[in-house]
Structure 1
Amino acid sequence: MNGRRTPVLLGSTVLTLFVIWHTCDSGNVLVYPIEGSHWINMKILIEALHSKGHSITVLQSDKSWYIKEDPLFYETITVPVKASLDEKMLEEDFVKLIDLLWAEGSVINFLRLFIDMMMKYKDIHIILKEMIVNMLEDQRLMKSLRDRNYDVVITDPCWGGGTVLAHYLKLPLVYNVRWLTTGEGHFAIAPSPISYIPLTGSGLTDKMTFIQRVKNMLYFVLLIIQERFTVRPIYQEVCDKYLGPGADFYMLMQAADIWLMRVDFVFEFPRPTMPNVFYMGGFQCKPGGPLPQHLEDFVESSGEHGVILMSLGSFISKLPSSLTDEIAAAFAELPQKVIWRHTGDKPATLGNNTLLVNWLPQNDLLGHPKVKAFVAHGGTNGVQEALYHGVPVVGLPLFFDQYDNLLRLQERGGARILSGTKLDKTVFLQALQEVLHDPSYRVNMQRLSRLHKDQPMKPLDQAIFWIEFVMRHKGAAHLRTESYKMPWYAYHSLDVIGFLAIMAFTAVFLTVICVRCICCRLCLKRKSKIE
């Protein structure tokens, strides 16, 4: 009896393992990424999925900046486009913006350039629209994508093409998200009372005065205007043509199955959230690894004073020369060694203690015990890595969300922001010395680091779990609220309030009429008795 059972049990076990392996470990994933630092963290997700046995296909344009073929981890499908984003031109525009931002007496020029940048932002999405249109027009490509039987689409919704493609192919959709086409992701999916939730760009915290709440409301109105009249119409035109007239782009964007947020509540201000939002802040962080020998030698030569690291992210690698001269002069007066990612002309005031590099292993350097401070622009990746390693920050916010990111660290005592004044050697040097010599900065960042790491599951493991969850169950509709299908007036119960107000007014009106009628009858009776 036992002898006959064993082969049956063994066969069942093998079959079960095969089914689990087939449904989980061999999923088919389609990725619609975006450029810059967003691609850097998307690639980390891709490599983690590949390590689990999944097959990955990455869509890219033939004029991509960062996305390159990598047969070890993913297959690429290249989409030809006529227009492309000019990386060098965009960087030059941003450098001009920075120059005006830090200069005095240039408010008019700054406002003019700001408006110009907003128009450029619209032009960028018009260019991005070409890629998704070219894909949808290519019936051979669309048939190929359908025939591959993908289990899920992963996209960064900061660009809208991935959202449109997932709904066109009728596939489950997972976001690697912090930003949508306009604004922070939570505002599209979760209740967001602007009385205590600051909008990105407002420079506010979750503790606002009345005047600050007015400012936050004005930012909210501007955000709605920007979203309704600059970006949404671009993608709505694509939806109308390829998904049908009933397909509303904003609703499709809200309908993603899982939102993997690149923040956590050690970093972000507390706020309402939703069941299909999961937090993977710092998922790209890891313990510092060994440094290249020349950097290791330079770091070790700093002795007890340690090292300052400066990097402005993957997009901006240089600043206006007048600004770099002030920064270099301040660095030259410090006993610390400095490693500075800088690709522009060598500053005239550069000291012997400063090493200029074209590229640096940022995470590994931040994890080195001799790194005492991080001069950063405030991008999400750099801020999260500084928090993970407990390194205090001197912030030089440039644009977009960077000031708001640094503000969250400053509110928690881990950063010092330089913004709103003309930056010169004296101001920069004082900020550096404050962060280096006031122990509270490092103590606070170390505390945040401990909080961030004290989780039941690593952020990257949680992200992979929920992607595989969607693949196993063909979506996650049970976690998704249906509120996105409601018109705005119904979502805010304005129709109900209006109905109840009319009913109350009618009841009061009828009561008044009845009382008047009764009073009139009583008056008539009294008159008749008197007569």
Structure 2
Amino acid sequence: MPGKWIWVLLLLHLSCYFSSGSCGKVLVWPMEYSHWINMKVILDELILRGHEITVVRSSSAIFVGSNETSSMKFETFPSSFNTDEMIDIISENINLWTYELPRTSCLAYSPLLENLFMKFSDTWLNICKEAALNKELMSKLRKARLDVLIADPIGPCGEPTTLMETTSRAEIWLIRSYWDLEFPRPTLPNFDFVGGLHCRPAKPLPKEMEDFVQSSGDNGVVVFSLGSMGVNLTDKTANAIASALAQIPQKIIWRFEGKKPVTLGPNTRLYKWLPQNDLLGHPKTKAFITHGGANGIYEAIHHGVPMVGIPLFGEQHDNIAHMVAKGAAVQLDIRTLSSKDLLRALETVINNPLYKKNAMWLSTIHHDQPMKPLDRAVFWIEFVMRHKGAKHLRPLAHNLTWYQYYSLDVIGFLLACVATVTFLVIKCCLLAYQTVFKMGKKKKRE
């Protein structure tokens, strides 16, 4: 299941079931980490509009449902995994993808990436089976008379099916991207781009953090985060990064877990958690060092902050490449990262006004929309509820058989026509040849 459309983007799979009305019952099959962060924003908005939300989660869930105080209902089913085991499985896959997969050629990269995905898929397949075979859970869901299903396609579950069959049932696809990040390309009518739906105005920082930011003076601060999924930096890489950060006049706020780098400078503070959106929206923020996750990219676009991108895995390479192409970022490679490279990249992004100008241009595009991304996402979910689906927007290609989809029937017909014409031409030539040959023999005899 390769490709940005499956793995970098949050796609919402919507299928309408029974009743209609202004308020509905929504069943949610979520995924972890940044996927849940985006989905929760949508769910909280649906709750504010009076909808009843039920989230199905396994007992091994990491982010989903942890310390939730909202009015959404959680249905938890037992899993053979525990939370720590799930964290270890995901971390192992991410570190393998980041550091071990060869990038010298597609032939070397693709088979190993496929094996990695297969291991990851087997884990989620097991969780899906545990949910589908849980009679108590299934009985509750059948009695709930649900109106709509919102599911992340990385982990759909249910009756035996294929990824193609599952995705073909989707009424509406909400893509976690927008044209400030993407390049123009054709899309289908049941696709809508809602990138940045989680972005919001910056809130005041905690006092201790605000004091540190204010101490930076005119130099400002640099925000540094490699995301919520806990990629393990080697000691060598961490020390190279810390050494580079110590050489710039800005203050650094770094989201970091692990052994403190020995080269850490006095201008750098380490935190296990950051109010990232609020920091990026702070007027003293000069640059953002990011792994290129969709959430961080859109928060930086929202607030007009230029970036130094260090992509690790998945669609992050594409995201940073897009930002580089639009002149709002500089890209580095985590595998070959040196202190000198990072220092040069930071000085370029901070001191060259063109990067800030381009970042603000993208921010202007992001804000200049007729409808906010979150409102648009909620509109389409409610649209599906009101109309009991959106069949009129679904492409008819989903109704074709595999040989029709690939035009094999048309190709077969054309090949048959060519073969028939070729056969007739050859037969005619042979017949003409035989006629001329016989006439020549007859003349010789005479």
Q: TM-score, normalised by structure 1?
A: 0.74
User: Per the alignment, in what secondary structure is the counterpart of residue 372 of structure 1?
Assistant: strand
Instruction: Specify the code of the residue in structure 2 equivalent to 1:265.
Output: W
The equivalent of 1:439 in structure 2 is 353
Task: For 1:157 and 1:92, locate their aligned partners in 2 and report how far apart those are by CA, in whole Å.
Answer: 21
The answer to whether the 8 Å contact 2:77/2:137 transfers is no
The equivalent of 1:171 in structure 2 is none
Task: For 2:248 and 2:186, locate their aligned partners in 1 and report how far apart those are by CA, in whole Å.
Answer: 44
The equivalent of 1:152 in structure 2 is 148
User: Per the alignment, in what secondary structure is the counterpart of residue 42 of structure 1?
Assistant: helix
User: Per the alignment, in what secondary structure is the counterpart of residue 287 of structure 2?
Assistant: strand
The equivalent of 1:177 in structure 2 is none
User: Per the alignment, in what secondary structure is the counterpart of residue 499 of structure 1?
Assistant: helix
Task: For 1:472 and 1:107, locate their aligned partners in 2 and report how far apart those are by CA, in whole Å.
Answer: 48
Task: For 1:386 and 1:53, locate their aligned partners in 2 and report how far apart those are by CA, in whole Å.
Answer: 32
The equivalent of 1:49 in structure 2 is 46
1:73 aligns with 2:68: no
The answer to whether the 8 Å contact 1:99/1:320 transfers is no
User: Per the alignment, in what secondary structure is the counterpart of residue 153 of structure 2?
Assistant: coil
**Which one of the candidate residues 299, 309, 316 is aligned to 2:213?**
299
The answer to whether the 8 Å contact 2:103/2:109 transfers is no
User: In the superposition, relative to structure 1, how do residues 357 and 53 fare at CA in structure 2: closer, same or farther (>3 Å)?
Assistant: same
User: Per the alignment, in what secondary structure is the counterpart of residue 86 of structure 1?
Assistant: helix
- Equivalent positions of 1:321-400 (< 5 A) are 321-400=235-314
Number of aligned residue pairs: give it. Answer: 422
Q: CA shift at 1:489, angstroms? A: 3.4
- Equivalent positions of 1:211-222 (< 5 A) are none
Task: For 1:443 and 1:408, locate their aligned partners in 2 and report how far apart those are by CA, in whole Å.
Answer: 16
Q: CA shift at 1:523, angstroms? A: 4.5
Q: For each residue in 1:405-463, what CA deviation from the matched residue of structure 2 results, as whole angstroms up to 9, or x when unmatched?
A: 10011111111000276212111101111111111111111111111221111111010
The answer to whether the 8 Å contact 2:58/2:78 transfers is yes
Segment of structure 1 superposing worse, 298-307 or 316-325: 316-325
Instruction: Specify the code of the residue in structure 2 equivalent to 1:338.
Output: I
The equivalent of 1:83 in structure 2 is 81
**Which one of the candidate residues 123, 129, 132 is aligned to 1:133?**
129
User: In the superposition, relative to structure 1, how do residues 99 and 521 fare at CA in structure 2: closer, same or farther (>3 Å)?
Assistant: closer
User: In the superposition, relative to structure 1, how do residues 113 and 451 fare at CA in structure 2: closer, same or farther (>3 Å)?
Assistant: closer
Task: For 2:430 and 2:232, locate their aligned partners in 1 and report how far apart those are by CA, in whole Å.
Answer: 80
The answer to whether the 8 Å contact 1:321/1:347 transfers is yes
- Percent identity over paired residues: 42
The answer to whether the 8 Å contact 2:54/2:72 transfers is yes
Q: CA shift at 1:350, angstroms? A: 1.0
**Which one of the candidate residues 502, 507, 510 is aligned to 2:421?**
507
User: Per the alignment, in what secondary structure is the counterpart of residue 297 of structure 1?
Assistant: helix
Q: CA shift at 1:269, angstroms? A: 2.4
1:250 aligns with 2:176: no
The equivalent of 1:479 in structure 2 is 393
Task: For 1:316 and 1:112, locate their aligned partners in 2 and report how far apart those are by CA, in whole Å.
Answer: 26
Task: For 1:143 and 1:302, locate their aligned partners in 2 and report how far apart those are by CA, in whole Å.
Answer: 58
Q: CA shift at 1:299, angstroms? A: 1.3
Comparing both structures, which one devotes a greater share of its residues to helix?
1
- Equivalent positions of 1:484-503 (< 5 A) are 484-503=398-417
Structure 1 runs of 4+ off > 3 angstroms?
22-25, 92-101, 111-121, 522-530
Task: For 1:420 and 1:338, locate their aligned partners in 2 and report how far apart those are by CA, in whole Å.
Answer: 19
Q: RMSD of the TM alignment (CA)?
A: 2.6
User: Per the alignment, in what secondary structure is the counterpart of residue 158 of structure 1?
Assistant: coil
Structure 2: 5+ residue stretches without partners? 1-18
The answer to whether the 8 Å contact 2:199/2:299 transfers is yes
Task: For 1:91 and 1:252, locate their aligned partners in 2 and report how far apart those are by CA, in whole Å.
Answer: 27
The answer to whether the 8 Å contact 1:95/1:320 transfers is no
Task: For 1:274 and 1:486, locate their aligned partners in 2 and report how far apart those are by CA, in whole Å.
Answer: 16
